[in-house]
Amino acid sequence: MKKVVSAKLHGIRVTGADLNYHGSITLDPEVCEQAGILPMEFVEIWNKDSGARISTYVIYGEPGSRCCVLNGAAARTCQKGDTVIICASEYIDTAQLYDVRPTVLTFTPDNEIDEIMYYEVRKSAARDFDFQVVREGRAQGAERTLRSVDVDALAQDLRARGLDDRAIADLLSCHLSQFQ
């Protein structure tokens, strides 16, 4: 059995931390339902601001509230406004990997769903397990307009993610041509 991602909330902001509550993470049930995260399901939480990593269970808050509240001991791992990644997982046999299609939601700073994606593994000519991200679209519209782009910082981040200078130049010229 392998532990794999079954759902992910990527970049959701913490809206509160309640040290005196008896534990868990409180999430908007509408968001959870769209991702496929159930109440009482254990999730891993990775704080992008502090680097803290914890595991706790989900409880549902008020529908439509866009809440993300860490409770009990988990409240010590974050502050209101921190950006976190919440990942649910499941155990499967390796052969089932082709059948798993986890939903990944990204978020705006106001915790509105920004983009819906899916992870897929397919067999390719090059390898038995080839990974791809399938983008369904943006919940907030097909396009986003950027007011300013720090091209040097963007290039540095892409380089850190393994792209070479030629690939970075191609990517930037293709997608940022309207800023020239």
Catalytic residue (one of 21, 57, 89, 118): 57
pLDDT mean for each 10 residues of the chain (180 residues) = 97 96 93 98 97 97 97 94 98 95 96 96 90 78 59 80 78 59
Q: Helices 165-175 and 151-160, interaxial angle, to 10°?
A: 140
Cα separation, 112 vs 61, whole angstroms: 15
Active site residue 57: yes
Q: Are residues 26 and 95 in the same domain?
A: yes
Q: Are residues 134 and 166 in the same domain?
A: no
* φ/ψ (deg, to 5) at 135: -95, 125
Q: Are residues 82 and 116 in the same domain?
A: yes
Q: What is the number of structural domains in the chain?
A: 2
Contact criterion met (CB below 8 Å) for 29 and 63: yes
Q: Are residues 132 and 156 in the same domain?
A: no
To the nearest whole number, what is the mean pLDDT of the chain?
Answer: 89
Catalytic residue (one of 6, 21, 24, 173): 24
pLDDT score recorded for residue 154:
80
Q: Are residues 152 and 134 in the same domain?
A: no
For residue 179, what are the domain limits? 145-180
Strands (E), the chain: 2-13, 16-18, 25-27, 42-47, 53-60, 68-71, 83-92, 103-107, 113-122, 130-138
Structure tokens at 50: 């502090």
Q: Contacts by 112-117 with C-beta closer than 8 Å and gap 24+? A: 112/66, 112/139, 112/140, 113/31, 113/34, 113/139, 113/140, 114/11, 114/138, 114/139, 114/140, 115/139, 116/34
125 is in an annotated binding site: no
Q: Are residues 131 and 176 in the same domain?
A: no
Instruction: List, in sequence order, the alpha helices (H) in the chain.
Output: 29-35, 151-160, 165-175
Judge if pTM exceeds 0.75.
yes
Q: Are residues 79 and 124 in the same domain?
A: yes
73 is in an annotated binding site: yes
Q: Are residues 100 and 150 in the same domain?
A: no
Active site residue 24: yes
Contact criterion met (CB below 8 Å) for 7 and 103: yes
77 is in an annotated binding site: no
Q: What is the CATH number of the domain that holds 134?
A: 2.40.40.20
Q: What percent of the chain has pLDDT over 90?
A: 68
72 is in an annotated binding site: yes
Q: Are residues 73 and 150 in the same domain?
A: no
Cα separation, 79 vs 75, whole angstroms: 8
Q: Are residues 118 and 90 in the same domain?
A: yes
Contact criterion met (CB below 8 Å) for 7 and 88: yes
